[in-house]
A and B are shown apart, each in its own frame.
Chain A
Amino acid sequence: MQTRFFDNPGMKILLIEDEVKLAQYLCKGLTEAGHVVDVAHDGVDGLHLALQGDYAALVLDVMLPGIDGLSLLAALRKTRQTPVLMLTARVGVDDRVRGLQTGADDYLVKPFAFSELVARIEAIVRRGQAGVPAGQPAALLRLADLELDLLRRKATRAGQALALTAQEFLLLTLFLRRPGEVISRTEIASQVWDMNFDSETNVVEVAVRRLRSKMDVPFPAPLLHTIRGMGYVLEERAP
């Protein structure tokens, strides 16, 4: 089974990261997902590549030798609107604000999960294409025998209505919008409840467990799976 990372694989991505080892792994991961990845280890090379090449997205470290990430971004924005995801090692609010003001589309604080990086790249690329008509958002989401009617806010599986709470409905919507994609707990908390911090609590686990008890447990084939150390994925698996 082919691991699916992106809705639109085959993107050309520029990775500017001075930590060689981290850059290697990120490059490897993105390449394995079927993308073309160029890597630069300092700001000067990075800016040059970013201005010359035609990239779908940039992954940019803030702390770089040569030209630092923020200056690079400022220089890039003069001519290019390539979506940029900033990697910052600091949690300082200043970095965040400055980064977003300079024109970064999103930021990710180190250390981050690879799946988180993938999700963020995808999100900024999608946002960049928002101008392009992408078709009506589906009012009906479906996976195997699971159906979600967003307009009538109804969920059914194998024809049986599921009694979901409002939160559970939102959670299931998130999974159904990104089937086959591993979604981390942090991202779930952020997307469903707008809680943007790493929580010590196990509330996401409990929420997923309760959702599962309604949409998975009573049925023969489970759809919502736990990936230890990474998150959850909704997908149909061969029995």
Chain B
Amino acid sequence: MREGALAPVSPGSLRSRLSWWLAVQSFAGLGAVCLVGYLVTAAGFGARQDDALRQKEGILRHLLGSEEGHAASMPQGRHALDDFLAGHENFRLQVIGPDGQQVYPPAPDARPLAAWRELRFEVARAAAAPSQSAATLQVQLRMDVQPDDLLLGRLAATLVLAALAGTVVVSLGGFTLVHLGLAPVRQMAAQTRQLSATTLHQRLDGAGQPAELQPLVGQFNALLGRLEKAYAQMEGFNADVAHELCTPLATLLASNELALRKHGRYRGPQGGGEVAEVLSSNLEELHRLTGIVSDMLFLSQADRGARARRAPVASLAAVAAQVGDYHEAALQDAGFTLQVVGDAAGDFDVPLLHRALSNLIGNATRYAAPGSTVRVCITHLLGGGVQLVVENTGPDVDPQVLERLFGRFFRGDTARSHGQKNHGLGLAITDAIARMHGGRTVASSDGGVTRIGLQLSLAPVTGSP
């Protein structure tokens, strides 16, 4: 989709484009070479034929001009011409007398030529005797060029085929070369694919890339660097803001609490008073602010790659039961039963798991159907790892809501009515705790059962986050 957005009109692949161009170019080149070869050969053939005709012309002039040839119509003259033509089957001769009569050959040609080259000339016959008048003979000499034409035709066909075959061979070679030549581009594309929003520290490896791609790699890496820096700044900014708020908040909390204490009448309704009321309200809001600030600091720690401090845990079911005890009153109040299903052992950060599970159970308590059972299901994952899922029955959660569930400051619409306590960072923190354990959060909702939980890897994740 994204590529489509960048290039609405697809220009096809670089490889096929280059291959096509190479094919067209090699065909044109080979075609030109073949054409020149053909034309030169054809011209050579023509010149040879002309030479042959002129050679015969000389002989004929001699024959027709001589005594024996005086009368081509005479049997002995005809015989001389027959002799001349014998052994030269590829020539045809026609002689027209001065009176326009064909004097040779006596009979019409039995085997007329299909293709010929013609030479016409006149032979002036001097009067041999005074009784005879001078006369001019029209001579038409034709040479059979069909074998040459056939040869030329075959040559042309061969050349065309050779050009085509040559084009195919060159194209295939070109295709392979282009494929090989573009290998660095493909390798770079593969490298780029491995980059994601969570791996900002990664860079493209420019080593072994051709010089043409080096500026691209450099530029891309510089962009990544800027992105990472901006991201770090943003994260740092969040952490700094939260951090800077801590001291003023501590001062405000202390001063409000002291003022309320000094008022001395914060105990009991009789002592109320307007100022005490305002101070109490301030304190409540300050505690809420404190909660948000410390949650944000927690999240920024997780974002910066803080890891869970793992210690052996014999039974995750016991941990879940402990959190269940914490929620016991609230669960009973809403008429829920809590059930822990399954168990697992491993190295985990128990205080963090307390917090994650508490958030999950709290969330389930908000959405579960009245009187239903909330289940904490602990299962081993196939690929190694443990899954902790809190399952409750209730109306299905919109898939779009499920997607954003672990986002920061996200609250489902119905949750807004649940008062000030919930500022929408609980599940984001659960997500952070999953990440700190090298895991992730999972959420599904169908058939009236909503399952939200976290998957934890059993071994601490080594290397950078």
Chain A interfacial positions (CB closer than 8 Å to B):
1, 3, 19, 21-22, 25-26, 28-29, 32, 87, 89-93, 109-115, 117, 165-168, 189, 193-203, 206-207, 209-210, 225, 227-230, 233, 235, 237
CB neighbours of A32 from chain B (8 A): 258, 261-262
Residue of A whose beta carbon sits closest to that of B290: A111
Cα of A225 to Cα of B283 in the assembled complex, Å: 17
Chain B nearest CB from A239 CB (Å) reads: 10
CA distance A90 to B306 in the complex (A): 13
| Bound Cα distance from A93 to B103, whole angstroms | 127
Q: Is the CB of B246 within 8 A of A110?
A: yes
Given known contacts A200-B421, A200-B426, A228-B281, A25 and B255 CB-to-CB distance under 8 angstroms: yes
Q: Is the CB of A110 within 8 A of B250?
A: yes
With an 8 A cutoff between CB atoms, is B20 at the interface?
no
Residue of B282, B293, B294 contacting most chain A CB atoms (<10 Å): B294
Alpha-carbon distance A194/B358, docked complex (angstroms):
12
Name the contact of A111 in the complex, choosing from B249, B264, B267, B354 (C-beta under 8 A).
B249
Q: Supply 18 further A-B pairs (C-beta < 8 A) apart from A29-B254, A196-B351, A197-B355.
A: A3-B261, A19-B251, A28-B258, A87-B250, A89-B243, A90-B243, A110-B247, A166-B325, A195-B326, A197-B354, A197-B358, A200-B426, A201-B327, A225-B268, A229-B257, A229-B279, A230-B257, A230-B260
Closest to A194 in B: B322
**How near does chain B come to A90, taking the closest CB pair, in angstroms?**
7
Among candidates B262, B280, B293, B328, residue contacting A229 with C-beta atoms closer than 8 Å: B280
CB-CB under 8 A for A193 and B421, given A114-B254, A114-B257, A167-B329: no
**A182–B281 alpha-carbon span in the complex (Å):** 17
Query: Total interface residues on B, using CB and 8 Å?
Result: 62
Q: Could you tell me if A229 and B256 are in contact, using CB atoms closer than 8 angstroms?
A: yes
Query: Quick check: is B323 within 8 A (CB to CB) of the other chain?
Result: yes
Residues on B close to A: CB < 8 A? 243, 245-247, 249-258, 260-262, 264, 266-268, 279-284, 286-287, 290-291, 293-295, 297-298, 301, 306, 309, 322-323, 325-330, 332-333, 351, 354-355, 358-359, 362, 365, 419, 421-423, 425-426
Known: A201-B327, A202-B421. A3 touches B264 (CB 8 A): yes
A197 to B323, CA, bound (A): 12
Q: Which residues of chain A are within 8 angstroms of B301 by Cβ–Cβ distance?
A: 91-93
The answer for the CA separation of A166 and B328 in the assembled complex, in Å, is 10
Chain A residues near B355 (CB, 8 Å)?
Answer: 195, 197
Note all chain A residues with C-beta closer than 8 A to B257. 29, 113-115, 229-230
A199-B358, A200-B421 as given contacts; A233 in contact with B267, CB under 8 Å: yes
**Interchain residue pairs A-B with the least CB separation, the first 6:** A229-B283, A111-B249, A228-B280, A207-B329, A111-B250, A201-B362
Is there an interface contact between A114 and B253, defined as CB atoms closer than 8 Å?
yes
Would A29 and B258 be within 8 Å (CB), given that A198-B290, A200-B425, A229-B287 are in contact?
yes
CB of A151 to closest CB in B, whole Å: 22
Contact B251 A25 (CB under 8 A): yes
Residue of B at shortest CB range from A170? B325
Hey, which chain A residues are within 8 Å of B251, CB to CB?
Answer: 19, 21-22, 25
**In angstroms, how far is the closest chain B Cβ from the Cβ of A210?**
5
Chain A residues closer than 8 Å to B327, beta-carbon distance: 201, 203
Are A112 and B250 in contact (CB-based, < 8 A)?
yes
**Would A201 and B281 count as touching, CB distance under 8 A?**
no
Which single member of A1, A193, A200 contacts B325 (CB below 8 Å)?
A193
Instruction: State the CA gap A71–B426 with chains docked (Å).
Output: 36
Q: How far is the CA of A200 from the CA of B298 in the complex (A)?
A: 14
A127 CA / B247 CA spacing, docked (Å): 28
Contacts of B425 in A (CB 8 A): 200
CA distance A32 to B259 in the complex (A): 11
Given contacts A110-B246, A229-B279, contact A203 B326 (CB under 8 A): yes
